[in-house]
Amino acid sequence: MVRTKAIKASNPSRTATEHLKRGTCPNFKSDPNSNPNQNPTPISSISPSGASMMTSSSMSPTGMMTSSHASNNRKRSKAAQSVAPITMIEPVKFSMTRPDPVGASGVYSTHNQQYNHFHYKHQEQQQKLSGGKDDLNALAMLEDSVKKLKSPKIESSLGGQKLTKAQIDASFDMLADWVYENCGSVSFSSLNHVKFKAFLSQVGLPVITGRELAGERLDSRYLNAKNESEARIRDAMFFQMSSNGWRHCKFRNDGGENDRNLVNLSVNLPNGTSVFRRGVFTNGYVFPKYAEDVLMETIAEICGNNLQKCVGIVSDKFKMKALKNLENQHHWMVNLSCQYRGVSKLVQDFVKELPVFKNVVDGCYKVANFVIMNSQIRHSFLKYQFQELGRSRLFQVPKFEFEYEVVFSMVEDVFSSSRVLQLVLLDESNKVVSMEVEETIKSPQFWREIEGVHSLIKLVKDMAREIEKERPRIGQCLPLWEELRVKIKEWCIKYEMNEIHVEKIFERRFRSNYHPAWAAAFILDPFYLIRDRTGKYLPPFKCLTSEQEKDVDKLITRLVSREEAHIALMELMKWRTDGLDPVYAQAVQLKQRDPITGKMKIANPQSSRLVWETYLTEFNSLRKVAVRLIFLHATSCGFKWNWSFPRLGQLRNNGIDKAQKLIFIAANAKLERRDFTNDDAKDADFFTLANGEDDMLNEVLFDDTSP
Which tens digits make up the pLDDT trace of 213-256? 777 888 888 888 899 989 999 999 999 999 988 865 544 444 34
User: Counting every residue, how long is the chain?
Assistant: 707
Looking at residue 408, its pLDDT comes to 87
Q: State how far the Cα of 496 lies from the Cα of 489, in Å rounded to an integer.
A: 10
Residue 68: CB partners within 8 Å, gap ≥ 6? none
Looking at residue 150, its pLDDT comes to 73
Looking at residue 651, its pLDDT comes to 53
Whether the Cβ atoms of residue 88 and residue 129 lie closer than 8 Å to each other: yes
Lowest mean pLDDT: which of 184-193, 518-527, 631-640?
A: 184-193
Whether the Cβ atoms of residue 510 and residue 481 lie closer than 8 Å to each other: yes
Burial category of 320 from C-beta neighbours within 10 Å (exposed 0-12, middle 13-18, buried 19 and up)? exposed
Q: State how far the Cα of 416 lies from the Cα of 407, in Å rounded to an integer.
A: 14
Higher-pLDDT residue of 517, 86: 517
Mean pLDDT in the chain? 76
Looking at residue 270, its pLDDT comes to 92
Judged by DSSP in three states, 241 sits in: strand
Percent of the chain with pLDDT over 70: 69
Buried b (16+ CB within 10 A) or exposed e, 407-440: bbebbbbbbebeebbebbeeeeebeebeeebeeb
Whether the Cβ atoms of residue 662 and residue 183 lie closer than 8 Å to each other: yes
How far, in whole angstroms, is CA 567 from its chain's centroid? Answer: 52
CA-based end-to-end distance of the chain: 90
Looking at residue 678, its pLDDT comes to 55
Looking at residue 476, its pLDDT comes to 94
Q: Is the pLDDT of residue 7 over 50?
A: no
Q: Is the pLDDT of residue 57 over 90?
A: no
Report the amino acid identity of residue 200: L
Percent of the chain with pLDDT over 90: 32
Whether the Cβ atoms of residue 350 and residue 343 lie closer than 8 Å to each other: no
DSSP per position, 386-422: HHHHS---PPP--SSTT-HHHHHHHHHHHHHTHHHHH
Q: What is the architecture of the domain spanning 219-338+636-679?
A: 2-Layer Sandwich (3.30)
Mean pLDDT of 44-59: 44
Whether the Cβ atoms of residue 371 and residue 379 lie closer than 8 Å to each other: no
Give the ranges where 132-249 is alpha helix by DSSP (H): 135-150, 165-181, 194-202, 210-213, 216-235
Lowest mean pLDDT: which of 240-254, 354-368, 505-519, 681-695?
A: 681-695
pLDDT in tens, 594-625: 887 778 888 888 999 999 999 999 999 999 99
Lowest mean pLDDT: which of 7-11, 308-312, 354-358?
A: 7-11
pLDDT in tens, 633-670: 999 886 666 555 545 555 555 567 777 888 888 777 77
How far, in whole angstroms, is CA 546 from its chain's centroid? Answer: 48
Q: State how far the Cα of 389 lies from the Cα of 407, in Å rounded to an integer.
A: 21
Whether the Cβ atoms of residue 240 and residue 268 lie closer than 8 Å to each other: yes
Q: Is the pLDDT of residue 387 over 90?
A: no
Q: State how far the Cα of 58 lies from the Cα of 55, in Å rounded to an integer.
A: 6
Q: State how far the Cα of 425 lies from the Cα of 420, in Å rounded to an integer.
A: 9
Q: Is the pLDDT of residue 401 over 70?
A: no
Looking at residue 85, its pLDDT comes to 47
695 band by pLDDT with thresholds 50, 70 and 90: very low
Q: State how far the Cα of 371 lies from the Cα of 377, in Å rounded to an integer.
A: 6
Mean pLDDT of 406-413: 87
Give the ranges where 206-287 is alpha helix by DSSP (H): 210-213, 216-235
Q: State how far the Cα of 169 lies from the Cα of 165, in Å rounded to an integer.
A: 6
DSSP per position, 37-52: TSSPPPGGGPPPTT--
Mean pLDDT of 25-50: 48
Q: Is the pLDDT of residue 514 over 50?
A: yes
Looking at residue 641, its pLDDT comes to 63
Domain with CATH 3.30.420 in the chain: 219-338+636-679
691 band by pLDDT with thresholds 50, 70 and 90: very low
312 band by pLDDT with thresholds 50, 70 and 90: very high
Own/partner pairs for 127-136, CB < 8 Å, 24+ apart?
127/88, 127/90, 128/90, 129/88, 129/90, 130/91
> What is the torsional sign of CA 334, 337, 340, 343?
negative
Whether the Cβ atoms of residue 316 and residue 246 lie closer than 8 Å to each other: yes
Lowest mean pLDDT: which of 9-18, 275-284, 305-314, 697-706?
A: 697-706
**Single pTM value for the model:** 0.69
Looking at residue 655, its pLDDT comes to 63
Looking at residue 91, its pLDDT comes to 45
Q: Is the pLDDT of residue 677 over 90?
A: no
> What is the torsional sign of CA 229, 230, 234, 240?
positive
Give the ranges where 536-678 is alpha helix by DSSP (H): 546-559, 565-578, 582-588, 607-614, 622-630, 644-647, 654-673
Lowest mean pLDDT: which of 12-26, 45-59, 185-199, 670-684?
A: 45-59
Q: Is the pLDDT of residue 259 over 90?
A: no
Q: Is the pLDDT of residue 377 over 60?
A: yes
373 band by pLDDT with thresholds 50, 70 and 90: confident
Own/partner pairs for 98-103, CB < 8 Å, 24+ apart?
102/27, 102/28, 102/29, 103/27
DSSP type of residue 435 = H
Q: Is the pLDDT of residue 193 over 90?
A: no
Looking at residue 644, its pLDDT comes to 53
Q: State how far the Cα of 223 lies from the Cα of 475, in Å rounded to an integer.
A: 37
Residue 226: CB partners within 8 Å, gap ≥ 6? 664
Lowest mean pLDDT: which of 109-123, 388-402, 632-646?
A: 109-123
Higher-pLDDT residue of 683, 473: 473
